[in-house]
Structure 1
Amino acid sequence: MAEATVEQLRVPENLLDSSAADFLEAVEVSRQVRINTWGNDLLAYTPAELFALCHDPYEWYVVLVARNDSKIMGRAGIAMPLDDNTDLAHVTLDVLPEAAGNGIGRKLLEAAELFVKGENRKIVVVETNHPAADLEAAGSTGERIPAAQGGSDLPLKSREARFASNAGYALERVEQFSACTLPPPGDLLAQLARRAEETHQGAYRVHQWLDSCPEEWAADFVRLEKGHNEDDGDLGTWDVKQLREAEELSRLSGRHTIVSAAEHLETGALVAFTSISLLGHRDDVAFQDDTVVEEAHKGKDVGLFIKVANMEQLELHFPALRTLYTWNSPENQYMLAVNAALGYVGAGVTGQWRKDFNAAD
């Protein structure tokens, strides 16, 4: 195979013009990679989704492509926050299976690092994906790469893990990736709702919304979101104004968000929420986003209470959905148990890797 060349992909004015051909080819590369990894394309961006991502006002998204002759063999997506964390860049690498092992991934990553350095970004985060079958094949013996957070690890036998490690990235954390088939069987949700109510003894009331948070709960909702981000080390400047801007951006892109939140009846404040996101251009898959429960209200099945309510709301508004995906920290045993009760099955893990250019220098 001839040596590949890397260049920045031009984002077309629209997806119907002939100039969109390269953009559509790059999208197809990513789709083929996800089919090869997970056995389906449910985690792949559609052309319209990636096009919207390239016009996100809160994040600058750049795509680099690796060509062999005229064919795109791989791509690197570079996401750079514009509001907070402006020293950070997330890089997603996709290389066609038939081109693996020819140095294309390394060349794309090096080009992406050079690009983000030129934009004064100091930290790069990349993700590796590990289906359950691959982890089983790797076995439990052999050298492991420990994560800095959470106590998990990945096998050095994994080609993806070796690639990231050899490129100078440190494994920050490993997350459990799970899938839930929809709709849930029988009266499962009703049974789990009763269990949660027996635990918390009617101390909470659920409030739900689609796409837009009611004004009466907006300040509480922002407080919970911001507190969760602070726990993750992202203080941010999140406020109600930015919430409304984000909601409008989602509306314009066709995306939907379903939220169920728990009001503590004694105080009248929201103390927990859970959200599910739906893509704007497909109706068969959704993604479980954050579930946040204030510390004082943990241990009372509040997380189960609101997740059951949100899945009921999901069925009501989007009956065509067939798969719900989620990611969880392996150490969050309560939430993993809740998800198992809801019907989630482990599909694999993802590794979050980090390189700090300041430390490297």
Structure 2
Amino acid sequence: MAKDVRIEQLWIPDSLDAPDAADFLAAVEVGRKVRMQTWGSDDLAYTPLEKLLELADPYERQVILVAKVDGEIVGAVDIALPLTDNLDLAEFTLDILPEFQRQGVGRQLLQAAEHLARSEGRTLILVDTNHPGASLHEFEKAQLVPGSGQGFVPLESREVEFARKTGYTLQHIEQFSSCALPLDTKLVADLQAEAEEANNGRYRLHHWTDRCPDEWLEAVAVLENLAGAAVDPSLETPIEQGMVFDGGILREAEEVTIAQGRRTVVTAVEHLASGSLVGLTTISVLAHRPDVVFQDDTLVLQEHRGNKLGLLIKVANMERLTEQFPDARVIYTWNAPENRYLLTVNQQLGFTTAGVTGIWQKELPSLKASVS
């Protein structure tokens, strides 16, 4: 057991060179070291500036609690509180330095985070555990399968053991994949030919970066609402239920993203006969990490599937990404394991499985319930 663990709320500085920024920098470094331990690289870690920019998100309030031992930050929990929808929800990201794991630090931080979430009226907690591909083979015999969907997390891993002991239930799995950039030129030509043969000139691609053209704004809002309306296994990174988009909200979201310094590369597909947008795919480029990019939602309307439109728009968007952001060397994505369609498309593009993320849930009694 770690002695004398102090839990306190992290002060968020105005800038990274402010005299009071030391704790913030130390907390971000804890996150980086944990990702190095898990994935063997810091591709998925925030830079301090990226984290500072993210904390200004108007759709989500973030509170960070830290654990200190002898005055040094050895763990942190990021508590994300949605402000426009899912108002009963809090999402935790818990990071403990490798040398302080299994010493009770994580449990103390988690309890403090749950207490804070309850005081904010949040009763549904989500937390994730991350498992690199190598660990899945190592633990193949003992698997924990989620309540819904497919896939598994390794039952005997430290993270799974901790989540179960602290009262969390595994809800679902997301498969985590990566692909090296740029794509091979011959591969691109072959895949484009395959997709174009299947859709037979019935569709047209449209591209934009950062801001959607006015003419497609409402059509994109409709697609985003369809993406959020149900957890559809054909979706890549489905939007959490609750947010209803219109053109105005989409414009606001674009401005928030731009203010954070992030770039968004989009390819949409129009059905020529009806003149309507029937699919889109989005890639996000971070402000201060141009070598690592993230595949966001990919959606093709049900009635237009079977025409290789997912392949068509993803190949085109990855090519545009490389043209506009030549420093990008790797793209990451998360998919539900039951999403065979997009997993197959990703495999064709050269994505390989890097691991899985387990999404865990816990329902807290509300403060009102516990008072009565």
**Do the structures match in fold with TM over 0.5?**
yes
Matches within 5 A, 1:341-356: 341-356=348-363
Q: 1:162: which partner in 2?
A: 161
CA displacement, residues 51-89 of structure 1 (integer Å, 9 cap, x when unaligned): 112111110001000000111000000001000111101
SS of alignment partner, residue 173 of structure 1 = strand
Listed one character per residue, the Cα deviations across residues 256-312 of structure 1 (whole Å, up to 9, x for unaligned) are: 000101101111000100000010111100000110111101121110010011011
Q: Contact between 2:173 and 2:357, CA under 8 Å: does it hold in 1?
A: yes
Distance 2:345 2:106 in 1: 37
1:104 partner letter:
V
1:187 deviates by: 1.8
Q: Residue type of the partner of 2:321?
A: L
* Inter-partner Cα distance in structure 2 for 1:106 and 1:319: 43
3-state DSSP class of the match of 2:322? Answer: helix
Answering whether residue 27 of structure 2 is matched by residue 26 of structure 1, we say: yes
* Aligned residue number for residue 79 of structure 2: 78
- Determine the structure 2 residue equivalent to 1:39: 40
Which structure 2 segments of 5+ residues have no match?
232-239
Q: 1:75 is paired with a residue of what secondary structure?
A: strand
Q: Is the 8 A contact 2:294 2:332 kept in 1?
A: yes
Q: Specify the alignment match of 2:194 in structure 1.
A: 195
Q: Aligned pair 1:6/2:13, yes or no?
A: no
1:132 corresponds to? 133
Q: Which amino acid aligns with 2:260?
A: S
Decide whether the 8 Å contact of 1:27 with 1:45 is kept in 2.
yes
Partner of 1:187, secondary structure, is helix
Identical aligned pairs, as a percentage? 48
Distance 1:175 1:355 in 2: 18
Q: Which residue of 1 aligns with 2:299?
A: 292
Q: Is the 8 A contact 1:272 1:291 kept in 2?
A: yes
Q: Distance in 2 between matches of 1:77 and 1:90?
A: 8
What residue in structure 2 maps to residue 280 of structure 1? 287
**Following the alignment from structure 1 to structure 2, what is the Cα–Cα distance between the partners of residues 297 and 159?**
44
Which runs of 5 or more structure 1 residues have no equivalent in the other structure? none
The alignment partner of 1:126 has SS state of: strand
Match of 1:326 in 2: 333
Asked whether the equivalents of residues 8 and 66 of structure 2 are also in contact (C-alpha less than 8 Å), the reply is yes
Distance of 2:281 and 2:321 partners within structure 1: 12
CA drift of 1:358 comes to: 4.5
Match of 2:312 among 295, 305, 308: 305
Paired position in structure 1 for 2:171:
172
Question: Are 2:226 and 1:234 aligned?
Answer: no
**Which of structure 1's runs of 4+ aligned residues deviate more than 3 A?**
358-361
Contact 1:226 1:235 in 2 (8 A): no
Report how far residue 146 of structure 1 moved.
Answer: 2.0
Does residue 110 (structure 1) correspond to residue 111 (structure 2)? The answer is yes
Q: Which amino acid aligns with 1:345?
A: T
What is the TM-score when the length of structure 1 is the normalising length?
Answer: 0.97
The 5 A counterparts of 1:182-221 are 182-221=181-220
Instruction: Give the Cα–Cα distance (whole angstroms) in 2 for the partners of residues 266 and 16 of structure 1.
Output: 56
TM-score normalised per structure 2: 0.94
Partner deviation per Cα, 1:311-347 (whole Å, 9 max, x = no partner): 1100110011101000111111111111111111111
Shift of 1:145: 2.2
What's the secondary structure of 2:245's corresponding residue?
Answer: coil
- Are 1:84 and 1:237, in contact at CA under 8 Å, matched by a contact in 2? no
> How many residue pairs get matched?
359
1:66–1:104 Cα contact (<8 Å) kept: yes
Q: Give 1:3 shift.
A: 3.1
Aligned-pair CA distance for 1:191: 1.0
The answer for the alignment partner of 2:121 in structure 1 is 120
